[in-house]
């Protein structure tokens, strides 16, 4: 294995992919910065462009990025008085937004009984 004068590993072209993959996984699928930082500590001739290409196409990272957010359903508000509340339905379309629109909202005013 070839090394430069600082002891960094000089890779042949065929070794680059595996080296980037190992470093990227070593950072726990870290982003471009974390992966590049680790790679620059070990290897002599891997460019940030190569790392960028790898991290952008990493299947695991893409799945992670597209994961649906959880915990967006809030606790309903209870009410003790008539005529004091309305009902709002939210249809969550965050996974299939229409441009900037991510929810459909419907509001219904609850009619109370008249006390006489």
**Contact positions vs Zn ion (CB under 5 A):** 29, 58, 60-61
Q: Which residues of 49-68 are buried (b: 16+ CB within 10 A; e: fewer)?
A: ebbeebbeebeebeeeeeee
By beta-carbon proximity to Zn ion, the closer residue of 11 and 51 is 51
What is the nearest approach in angstroms of Zn ion to the Cβ of residue 79? 48
What is the nearest approach in angstroms of Zn ion to the Cβ of residue 27? 9
Distance CA 72, CA 92 (A): 9
How buried is 85 (Cβ within 10 angstroms: 0-12 exposed, 13-18 middle, 19+ buried)? middle
What is the nearest approach in angstroms of Zn ion to the Cβ of residue 62? 8
By beta-carbon proximity to Zn ion, the closer residue of 32 and 61 is 61
By beta-carbon proximity to Zn ion, the closer residue of 30 and 102 is 30
By beta-carbon proximity to Zn ion, the closer residue of 8 and 29 is 29
Going by C-alpha positions, the residue among 55, 66, 64 that lies closest to residue 25 is 55
What is the nearest approach in angstroms of Zn ion to the Cβ of residue 47? 18
């Amino acid at each position: 294995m070839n090394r430069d004068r600082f002891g960094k590993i000089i890779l042949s072209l065929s070794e680059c992919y595996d080296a980037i993959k190992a470093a990227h996984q070593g950072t726990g699928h870290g982003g471009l910065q974390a992966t590049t930082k680790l790679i620059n500590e070990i290897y002599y001739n891997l460019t940030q462009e190569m790392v960028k290409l790898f991290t952008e196409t990493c299947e695991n990272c893409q799945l992670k990025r597209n994961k649906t957010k959880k915990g967006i359903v809030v606790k309903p508000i209870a009410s003790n008085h008539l005529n004091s509340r309305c009902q709002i339905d939210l249809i969550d379309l965050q996974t299939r937004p229409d441009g900037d629109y991510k929810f459909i909202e419907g509001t219904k005013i609850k009619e109370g009984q008249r006390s006489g």
